[in-house]
Amino acid sequence: MPDTRAIELVLQLPADMAESVEEVTLRDPEYLGRLIRVGLARRAVFQELRRSITFPTTGEPSPGERSA
């Protein structure tokens, strides 16, 4: 695993959402960090899969890859 370091992330959330986040953080301080890591990993996998999808016969990008 490569070297890692912590960062501080500051977000402006609606008050009710901020309260929910604070409650979750009190119950499980590491939960939000795990949630963000999973979300970032899923996004990276999805983007890689999207880049790799091509039509088998033409080699052109799939319809979702084409720009409008």
Would you state the pLDDT for residue 59?
A: 59
Alpha carbon of residue 55 to chain centroid: 27
Higher per-residue pLDDT: 63 or 26: 26
Chain segment 12-62, per-residue pLDDT in tens? 999 999 999 999 999 999 998 899 889 999 999 998 888 888 655 555 666
Residue with the larger pLDDT of the pair 53 and 3 = 3
| Res 43: pLDDT | 94
pTM over 0.85: no
**Given this model, what pLDDT does residue 31 score?**
92
